[in-house]
A and B are shown apart, each in its own frame.
Chain A
């Protein structure tokens, strides 16, 4: 350091500093600039949009309109973003089989590459939430599950039940169980608010909190120990009471009948 500062007034010092600055800015530019590869990406992107448009025309346009503008049968898809498509098609909810109070989850009809193409087309209609990457929905901190549990109880448990088992809403609508839902789809649902679920955008629930909720839901579904055993679907006191009254009392009554039916008399009649 001393050597360096001693030579700061050397005639060539300015030249050396200039050289360093040029190398640094050039390097930074090379690192961040949209290179030729990015252009190749964008052509792949427009290919995907074209493919997606073709798939959309066949599978979706009868309800959502040829340009996704919406019809009386289905809402406009302008501005719903690729995340909404990835959720709706990826969980099999779309394409819907029939109108009803709520479109149920089913086996997905499209493959993931097809879903990505559809998503690319719908995303091209207007800006909206983007399909999250794995980094976005995977929590890294060790206390994520605990924090996620708190957030889940504040924001989600009123509809999805304290253990994510789901619950009923009005007129045939319901909050589905979260047990076997892909982490990506949980994240997308919070981002986009599918069907009657309200959305929880990043402006009111930052990405990190969504990660924590995803971590909690996965923990609850997979690893969370159940100290009592036999959760009975985690549906709360109604199922537990029903089980106690029907099975518990039923077994006791059966034992009483069995005892009374067997005589102790020496001469069996």
Chain B
């Protein structure tokens, strides 16, 4: 189950998308989301879907890997689908059952919402699939850095993200070990009512937090020993370089946005 969540995972390969500057990709995703939420007609959706397919192809991430990421979202999608299907009252009635009325408008809306969600998840997960965590944090830091003038701690945010990413596997391993150790002491995490189960978590949570604090403490000393002093005057081994491919990607993004607006104007003209 945990392994099905591809959101946030990095797929290591080389592709034009992998080579892009993380800043471009972050901006691209923001663009993409705007476009998706603007879409309303079938043609607009078709354009967005075509674009998504093109980018997936470009990323060289196997489609099966991306669709696997949709699995945990089936519940949410089913829910929105049902909601849209049953709660839309405009349009021609197709059939009704008990207090519910299903209309053609409702069906259209439900399908659109489902497509929008699928595209949204597939498109945004491409950001993390093609960008290593460290490049991602670097990109976020740079994008936020103009904001540090108005007091946003952009370096600290990026450093925190990077350390969190570094320690997630270590803490996961530790959690596994603590659970096993307490199981070996006869702890029972599976039976009893809700309160008993919450109480049963204490032997796991206390050592876990104590361990996290201990690690944080040691890490802080180790960082100080290596002359860490916040973001001021820092250089970086990683190079963020805005290249031709990034310029091209941004142009494509603008074109896509323009096309979307164009389609909207066309549709408006059609109605009038």
Q: Do A and B truly interact?
A: no
